[in-house]
Structure 1
Amino acid sequence: MRLSRHSVLLPVTALAAAVLLAACVPSDEATPTSAPTPSQSTTPTPTGSATPAPQPTAEIIPFSAACDQLVSPQALYDINPNLALLGAFDPDAGTPAADVVAAGGTACRWVNSTSGSTIDVAVAELPAEVSTALKNSLVGDSNSVPTYGVEGYFSVVGGVGEADAFPDPYWVSVVSSDFVEPGDAGPFAITVIDALG
């Protein structure tokens, strides 16, 4: 079964919600099991907190950048002069770009004026533990790509090429139906990685 990016990021949100809800529910430990007898002291003795201490959770790190900062007009022209920037957009649920936006990132879209196909580029800054979990899922579900210059992966899912690159602490996602192999996504991935510096 393919572990989606959404399934990696969702547990962070769910865990945070569970910790908040736990603070609202009284613990069973606070309920006395028997009434004190005259020989027992009725002075309460200090015990641990009834509410469990919250465990550290990953926080969303907001990331915002203009699309033409991630891929400059000159870089875009060098990649393909038929491409035009459509700008930032609200991605469809379940897409890699939607997962990036849910992680606090930015999603941008370009269109090929000849074919009408689109290229989505999305970037998020991830906490280390979320980044590690995502990379670990991609090790088994994707193909490693050394040519992006950083830890990178590529796969084709439902006829759509998906490239993921990790110039830590960032996650760069590049997706298009035009991508059939890692080298197709490479110019976009490398341009964005260079822009993130």
Structure 2
Amino acid sequence: MYEFNPNFGLVEQAPAPGSLAATAVAHGGVACTWVQATDGSRIVIGVAQPSRTTLAELRASGDGFRSSGGVGTVQIFTDKHWIVATSKYFGTPDDARMLTDSVKSALG
């Protein structure tokens, strides 16, 4: 995260109910929230390894990128994992690439 923006700090905060990150947690995954020290904006990243059936359902129903109200959400699917990243800093999927590539790398 420091390379992305050194003004973000990790906080202990559950993802918003109904959010994709909360859905990742509901499927046995994890979610992390970082807060920007200057303006309080957030980056939330969730990762889950759901069953093959659930992963296929998520893949079929999810857009790779969507933006609403100035907040961008990126969904990435690997063979086993579902990654979701949400922030006002994500105007395009490329804006989140550094972070999502780091998550993919950590998953192996």
Larger radius of gyration: 1
Q: Please report how far the alpha carbon of residue 115 of structure 1 lies from its aligned counterpart in structure 2 after TM superposition.
A: 2.3
Q: Kindly indicate which of the two structures has a greater share of residues assigned to strand.
A: 2
Q: Please report how far the alpha carbon of residue 157 of structure 1 lies from its aligned counterpart in structure 2 after TM superposition.
A: 2.5
Corresponding residue for residue 55 of structure 1: none
Corresponding residue for residue 113 of structure 1: 37
Q: Matched residues in 1 for 2:89 and 2:39: separation?
A: 10
Q: Which amino acid aligns with 1:161?
A: G
Which of 47, 61, 68 is the matching residue for 1:157?
68
Q: Matched residues in 2 for 1:126 and 1:158: separation?
A: 29
Q: Matched residues in 1 for 2:15 and 2:71: separation?
A: 15
Q: What TM-score do you get using the length of structure 2 for normalisation?
A: 0.91
| Cα RMSD, aligned residues only | 1.3
Corresponding residue for residue 18 of structure 2: 94
3-state SS of 1:77 partner: coil
Relative contact order, higher structure (CA 8 A, sep 6+)? 2
Corresponding residue for residue 127 of structure 1: 51
Corresponding residue for residue 27 of structure 1: none
Task: Flag as ranges the 4+ runs of structure 1 deviating above 6 A.
Answer: none
Q: Which amino acid aligns with 1:107?
A: A
1:81 pairs with 2:6: yes
Gaps of 5+ in 2: none
Residues 15 and 33 in structure 2, CA contact (< 8 A), matched pair in contact too: no
Percent identity, aligned pairs only? 39
5 Å-filtered alignment, 1:171-182, equals 171-182=82-93
Q: Please report how far the alpha carbon of residue 103 of structure 1 lies from its aligned counterpart in structure 2 after TM superposition.
A: 0.8
What per-residue deviation string (whole Å, max 9, x for no partner) do you get for residues 120-142 of structure 1? Answer: 0111111111111111112xxx3
Which of 90, 99, 103 is the matching residue for 1:188?
99
3-state SS of 1:183 partner: helix
Q: Kindly indicate which of the two structures has a greater share of residues assigned to helix.
A: 1
Q: Matched residues in 2 for 1:160 and 1:191: separation?
A: 21
Q: Matched residues in 2 for 1:179 and 1:156: separation?
A: 8
What per-residue deviation string (whole Å, max 9, x for no partner) do you get for residues 29-70 of structure 1? Answer: xxxxxxxxxxxxxxxxxxxxxxxxxxxxxxxxxxxxxxxxxx
Q: How many aligned positions are there?
A: 108
Q: What TM-score do you get using the length of structure 1 for normalisation?
A: 0.52
Q: Matched residues in 1 for 2:69 and 2:23: separation?
A: 17
3-state SS of 2:53 partner: helix
